[in-house]
């Protein structure tokens, strides 16, 4: 179970990264560096039932499917 402050921090980082990426042009591997940073930052939550890793996975999907705008 993630600590509440880690969950809040993960949500804030993902929101910040989405805003940053929305201002950039789309290229190959769009956002993958930020996804890896999140995975490294919250690696303790990779396994088990938690709320952080699904957020990171959703952000990864958002990056892969982002078309601009």
Listed in sequence order, the residues at least 6 apart from 28 whose beta carbon sits closer than 8 Å to its beta carbon are: none
Per-residue pLDDT of 35-64, as tens digits, reads 999 999 999 888 877 899 999 999 999 999
Asked if pLDDT for residue 2 goes beyond 70, the answer is no
Local structure of residue 49 (DSSP, 8 states): S
Output the CA torsion 6→58→64→41 (10° steps). Answer: 20
More confident residue, 15 or 49: 15
> How many alpha carbons fall within 13 Å on the CB side of residue 31?
29
Report pLDDT for 1. 55
Place of tokens 């930052």: 41
């Amino acid at each position: 179970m993630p600590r509440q402050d880690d969950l809040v921090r993960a949500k804030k980082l993902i929101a910040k990264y989405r805003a940053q990426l929305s201002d950039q042009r789309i290229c190959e591997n769009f956002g993958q560096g930020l996804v890896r940073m999140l995975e490294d930052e919250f690696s303790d939550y990779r396994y088990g039932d938690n709320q952080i890793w699904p957020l990171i996975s959703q952000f990864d999907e958002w990056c892969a499917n982002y078309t601009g705008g």
